[in-house]
Amino acid sequence: MAEFPDDEACLQWLWKTRLSPDGKHAHCPKCKAERAFKRYAIKQQRQSWTCVACGYHLHPTAGTIFHKSSTSLHLWFYAMYIITSTRCGISAKQLGRELGVTYKTAWRIFNRIRYSLADDGSPLTGKVEMDEMLVGGIDKNRHLGKRLHGKGHYMGKKSVFGMVQRRDDESQARVVAKVVPTPPKSGDVLRHVRRYVMPASVVFTDESRFYESLNTMGYEHGRVHHTANVYVSGDAHTNTIEGFWSLVKRGISGVYHNVSKKHLQSYVDEYAWRYNHKNDPRGHFNLLASRVAHRRVATERPSSRP
């Protein structure tokens, strides 16, 4: 509230962060050069800056999640603060109460912010644990590898595959988690391994058949035999990824109750983001704000004329 007391402060911040570090000059796409930009008093909710040479308008919110939203910027920033300051998540209903907006509006805001939390996809290396989790359904949250009761086992459930890079300091571990088809096939899982885990990494899994070809893919592969009740064998364990699953499960059942398949990935991304940045010195709000400022979202460009 002190740093962003009103809409104007939020807009100025976006202008400087995204387009004009000194607040006065920016690159004009029409002049194709650095130009001075001015603000003219106009009655418009989303103010723009105008190139003094050619009259081109730059909109600091264009291409961001705030673009064309009827919710005030100040409320958006407040929503980002609330979402990043809760430790285990908040429901859209609760968020709506905090912001004083309808459930529908809160849900839309939340959804857009959550999509900004998706992992940047930088690869994992060193010692990497991987595992799958089932979410939802009646017989819920059972470990895939442990109980396979045929097709019925997967009724109403969704599968998530996760990879976590261990660190000596466990709080520095980094996770990537992806929704995969249910029941997952080996190919669904290995596709993500290939994409996110650097070759020559040491990978740890349980004995599930998904992982049989990891050796031939250039990874050093250690297995734990959960069916034989072995959970840790030297370095071979999957405790780190299981710790992450328990966070996600607690969140989904405690805060969100149930999650549709369509949105599961973004819920998982939210928890992965919290997990990966738990000790980030920049603080969660600043981290999210800078991500939102620098990540372009698919929105149509506003016309350059007011």
Query: Using the rule CB under 5 A, is 30 a contact of Zn ion?
Result: yes
CB-wise, 28 or 79, nearer to Zn ion?
A: 28
Pair of tokens at residue 76: 């958006």
Query: Using the rule CB under 5 A, is 53 a contact of Zn ion?
Result: yes
Give the integer Cα–Cα distance in Å for 100 and 108. Answer: 14
CB of 24 to Zn ion, least distance (A): 14
Residue (of 30, 32, 50) closest to 40 by Cα position: 50
Listing DSSP states for 249-260 in one string gives HHHIIIIIS---
Site map (CB under 5 A) of Zn ion, residues 128-167, x = contact = ----------------------------------------
Query: Using the rule CB under 5 A, is 49 a contact of Zn ion?
Result: no
Give the integer Cα–Cα distance in Å for 248 and 271. Answer: 6
* One of 25, 45, 54, 278 touching Zn ion (CB under 5 A): 54
Number of residues located near Zn ion, criterion CB under 5 A? 8
Q: Where are the beta strands (DSSP E) in 140-280?
A: 158-165, 174-180, 202-205, 220-223, 232-233, 236-237
CB of 23 to Zn ion, least distance (A): 17
Query: Using the rule CB under 5 A, is 28 a contact of Zn ion?
Result: yes
Reduce the DSSP state of residue 52 to 3 states and report it.
Answer: coil
Pair of tokens at residue 99: 């912001």
Query: Using the rule CB under 5 A, is 52 a contact of Zn ion?
Result: no
* One of 8, 25, 31, 218 touching Zn ion (CB under 5 A): 31
Query: Of all helices (H) and strands (E), which one includes residue 25?
Result: strand 25-28
Stretch that binds Zn ion, among 13-21, 30-38, 177-185, 248-256 (CB under 5 A): 30-38
Task: State the residues that interact with Zn ion by CB under 5 A.
Answer: 28, 30-31, 35, 51, 53-54, 56
